[in-house]
Amino acid sequence: MKTLKVMVVAGMLALFPAQASAGDYEVQNVMDDALYGAGVGALVGLGLMLLTDKPTDNWNYVSRGLGVGIIVGAAYGVYRSKGAFAQIEDGQINLGMPSPEFALRETPAGLDLVMTTNMIGGRF
């Protein structure tokens, strides 16, 4: 019963539009990608479940597909985001989610895997 109450409250909150500032569209894009990933993952899990000999015994395929879809969708959303935490364009500062970049750099000890991210970007 408690789970039903939480789902009803969450559903009601999802119906109210939130006011977004200039930089929130990046976060919204990541959330949208995670939501679409969840839907696709759940559908793939449902399809795999239906291909088994006893579909009713394999509902965990749907939940696993849902979880993997959320993670992959959110990662894709972060990957395609603007790339910098703060972007300055036309006198406005837009905050977003930084995208990590991975590279191999040569050091005296050999090759090292390095992760970098842009914190501030802009056009002048």
pLDDT digits (tens, 9 = 90+) for 72-116: 988 888 777 765 556 666 777 666 666 677 778 888 888 888 777
Measured CA to CA in angstroms, residue 59 lies from 65, 69, 83 at distances of: 10, 16, 38
Range 10-30 average pLDDT: 59
Tokens of 124: 């002048």
CA-angle at 44, arms to 46 and 28, nearest 5°: 115
C-alpha of 48 from chain center:
23
What integer pLDDT is reported at residue 122 of this predicted model? 59
Range 28-44 average pLDDT: 88
Q: Is the predicted pLDDT of residue 64 greater than 60, yes or no?
A: yes
Helix (H) or strand (E) holding 85, with range, is strand 84-89
